Amino acid sequence: MRAISRIILSSASSDLVFAGGGHVRPLTVRRSAAARAMRLSVDPRDGTVRLSLPPRAALRPALLWVENKRDWIEGALAALPRARPIVPGAVIPFEGQPHTVVWQAGASRTVTLVDYRLLLGGPEEAVGQRVLRWMKGAALARLEAQTHAVAARAGVTVSKVGIGDARSRWGSCSASGEIRYSWRLILAPPDVLEATVVHEVAHRLHMHHGPEFHHAVKRLLGRDPAGERQWLRTHGAELYWYGRDH
């Protein structure tokens, strides 16, 4: 099979790789009791090729089936957003607005925000790492402030606010009151970040997605968040490609 590379000496499904059309991406295999047939998808956030199988489906025929779907997979990979490494001259969004990364040899190593520019000095090869660190710090500060402000309006407590880079959700709220967000929300327009914060804080009132929960979201936000949800559905996957070089 051309598309499926060797399995590295491990039983982990992540050791399968799809290679073709100039792309090399992980191929993950997931068995589901609910699956009635084989299904292929390409994750728009990182290009992972996902194969879903019924519980007892044999793996080898399934991989042969994947090979027969090569043209579809290569087309789906080609349609993904391009990787956007953070290097001098790169344009990246911050709070929904494009900002240019400007490196100057004699400037401070600390990122400074000036007129839609992110200015910094220090070793040029470390620009991407330091801009990402600055972005994450800005995200945590903004998300902490907004979360506690919304929690105060809602009359609830939040035990801790944290950030990560989860691929499955933009935010999560635990029963203990800890809320975590994707730091990439700082790349999105402020209204999108705000609506996500309200969504998670509303889970401190209702740990479900029933009518009471949605009513609480609208009350705390002051509007229906349909527009912000649509923005994330349309543009959210693109945010995961900033800081990637392939």
Residue 90, pLDDT score: 97
Bridge partners for 26 per DSSP: 17
CB 98 within 8 A of CB 140: no
Residue 243, pLDDT score: 94
With vertex at residue 76, the alpha carbon angle to CA 9 and CA 165, rounded to the nearest 5 degrees, is 65
With vertex at residue 9, the alpha carbon angle to CA 4 and CA 13, rounded to the nearest 5 degrees, is 50
Residue 119, SS3? strand
pLDDT tens string for the chain (246 positions)? 555 544 322 334 447 999 988 888 999 999 989 888 999 999 998 999 999 999 999 999 999 999 999 999 999 999 999 999 999 999 999 999 999 999 999 999 999 999 999 999 999 999 999 999 999 999 999 999 999 999 999 999 999 999 999 888 999 999 999 999 999 999 999 999 999 999 999 999 999 999 999 999 999 999 999 999 999 999 999 999 999 988
Rounded distance, CA 190 to CA 198, Å? 12
CATH 3.30.2010.10 fits 91-239, yes or no: yes
pTM listed for this prediction: 0.85
State both tokens at 136: 């994450």
The CA R_g of the chain, rounded to the nearest whole Å, is: 21
Rounded distance, CA 200 to CA 159, Å? 13
Give start-end residues of each CATH 3.30.2010.10 domain in the chain.
91-239
Residue 199, pLDDT score: 98
